[in-house]
Amino acid sequence: QKDLNPSAFFDCQFSSSGVFEDYTSLSIIDGLARIFNQLMLYWLLIGIGMVIKGFGESYSFGHCIEFSVRIISSLLDVLFNKMMALSETTKSVNTQGSLANILFTDTIKIQYFARNLTFLISIPLEMIIAIIFLGTYIS
């Protein structure tokens, strides 16, 4: 009769049909060493995945911010040129104000899309990485 000790690890042996046969008691040091040895590859894959995700998100976020700044600058330039090209007869207060609001609203919507492009790119990539990760079997 073996005593169950809460401060130890137990290694259970099962028959080929899945029936419990016996167990051996391991010390805390041996149990932790066994856990670390069996989980080392898993932790390594998690660490590499987190590093790749961090660098990938930083890279895509930086490029999307740069892309967004270029878009808003060019669109504001187009907006300014269109406002300057309005003829003197159509520059009444109401026409100019409504036209400026329409052009500015369109410009802001395009800039908002460009700024959030990083999330539109990263979320499907994260889903693909998660599916690959969950489908990986480690023996």
For the segment 67-81, what is each residue's pLDDT rounded down to a tens digit? Answer: 777 877 787 787 777
Residue 30 lies in a domain: no
Residue 14 lies in a domain: no
Total domains in the fold of the chain = 1
Integer Cα distance of 52 and 46 in angstroms: 10
Residue 2 lies in a domain: no
pLDDT value of residue 81: 75
Residue 8 lies in a domain: no
Residue 12 lies in a domain: no
Length of the chain in terms of residues written: 139
Domain residues for 108? 42-135
Q: Which residues of the chain fall below pLDDT 50?
A: 1
Residue 3 lies in a domain: no
Asked if 115 and 68 touch (Cβ cutoff 8 Å), the reply is yes
Residue 122 lies in a domain: yes
Q: What is the pTM of this model?
A: 0.45
Integer Cα distance of 63 and 114 in angstroms: 10
